Amino acid sequence: MIDGKALAAKVRDEVAAEVEQLGEVGLATVLVGDDPASQVYITGKHKAATGVGIHANDVRLPADAPEDELLQLLAELNADDAVDGILVQLPLPSHLDEAKVIEAIDPAKDIDGLHPMNAGRLYLGRPRLVPGTPLGIMRMLAEYDIETKGAQAVVIGRSSIVGKPMAHLLLQAHATVTICHSRTVDLQRHTLDADILVAAVGQLHLVGADMVKAGSTVIDVGMNRTDGGLFGDVDPGARERAAYMTPVPGGVGPMTIAMVLKNTVTAARARRGLVSGVS
């Protein structure tokens, strides 16, 4: 099993050392409304940020906050020199235009890597700030010496926050990449070919054990909450066939938060004109 928890602790230590070197590093999170899951995520990110010495500012707006108010707030955070990273917790309430809000974040402070400028740079093979989940997965592959060059990689899911950036990072790491999604016909035909399989769908055990290639690496991004606890997109039985697999919980989740902190430091370094640390 790939130990995401242990690796996340290692990344947090690296970040803490960089924060100490840089002096003050500031993060601002913005939560609109009171969605319980979002509150849990924001609290987790704050705890982690404070733990590595990042100064974290927790901005909350009511669920009915007008778009102008949010855009004005982002303009202020963009202009605030003490803020290195800005994170708007998604999803936003339905009256807010998510794309417009993301585009209002200064790309240099966009630590979720969702601004078109950052997404475009990744597409062009010149990434700056990349979403934490796929970045964390690349770090896991590197840490466990899993060869990406020439590997057949299959990514299930095509979201802007996981699937698409994941596919681009793997492509940049010289894998041959297939992206599967909700309209893919015969998913198993693709997954059985995968040396590296990344499942980012949000459907409990969509990937059965018999859909996994023997000796492959399986990265389970899915987070499916049931009465029995938190489960992934991949049947845990797949670990019998896979050479490496991430558990849920304790795999991709902790790494995502650690990489968001890493991105905050990357943004802080770039804003100070320093060469960015390796992510």
Out of 127, 222, 234, 261, the only residue in the binding site for ligand NAD (CB under 6 A) is 222
**Binding range to ligand NAD, per CB under 6 A, among 12-20, 51-59, 143-151, 182-190:** 182-190
Out of 201, 207, 211, 219, the only residue in the binding site for ligand NAD (CB under 6 A) is 201
- Report whether the peptide linkage leading into residue 249 is cis, meaning its omega lies within 30 degrees of zero: yes
The 8 Å CB, 24+ separation contacts for 57-62 are 57/26, 57/27, 57/28, 57/29, 57/83, 58/29, 58/31, 59/28, 59/29, 59/30, 59/31, 60/30, 60/31, 60/32, 61/30, 61/31, 61/32, 61/33, 62/32, 62/33
Which is it for strands 217-220 and 244-245: parallel, antiparallel or unpaired? parallel
Out of 138, 187, 234, 265, the only residue in the binding site for ligand NAD (CB under 6 A) is 187
Integer Cα distance of 103 and 47 in angstroms? 27
- The CA-to-CA distance between both ends of the chain, in Å, stands at 22
- Indicate whether 182 belongs to the interface with ligand NAD (CB under 6 A): yes
Q: Residue 180: beta bridge partners?
A: 156
Site string for ligand NAD, 122-141 (x = CB under 6 A): -----------x--------
Nearer to ligand NAD, 108 or 264 (CB): 264
Degrees, nearest 5: CA angle 99-132-104: 25
Rg (CA), the chain: 19
Please count the residues of the chain: 279
Nearer to ligand NAD, 36 or 150 (CB): 36
Integer Cα distance of 187 and 130 in angstroms? 27
Asked if residue 118 lies in contact with residue 107, where contact means CB atoms within 8 angstroms, the answer is: yes
**Binding range to ligand NAD, per CB under 6 A, among 21-29, 42-50, 76-84, 217-225:** 217-225
**Binding range to ligand NAD, per CB under 6 A, among 62-70, 109-117, 143-151, 197-205:** 197-205
Out of 119, 137, 221, 245, the only residue in the binding site for ligand NAD (CB under 6 A) is 221
- Indicate whether 43 belongs to the interface with ligand NAD (CB under 6 A): no
**Binding range to ligand NAD, per CB under 6 A, among 11-19, 50-58, 161-169, 238-246:** 161-169
User: How many of the chain's residues bind ligand NAD (CB under 6 A)?
Assistant: 24
- Indicate whether 218 belongs to the interface with ligand NAD (CB under 6 A): no
Write the CA distances from 173 to 24, 128, 135, 143, 228, integer angstroms: 33, 15, 12, 14, 37
Integer Cα distance of 6 and 256 in angstroms? 13
Out of 156, 167, 171, 234, the only residue in the binding site for ligand NAD (CB under 6 A) is 156
Site string for ligand NAD, 224-263 (x = CB under 6 A): ----------------------------xx--x-------
- Indicate whether 179 belongs to the interface with ligand NAD (CB under 6 A): no
Integer Cα distance of 260 and 47 in angstroms? 13
Out of 12, 45, 158, 168, the only residue in the binding site for ligand NAD (CB under 6 A) is 158
Residue ranges that bind ligand NAD, judged by CB under 6 A: 133, 156-159, 161-163, 180-182, 184, 187, 200-203, 206, 221-223, 252-253, 256
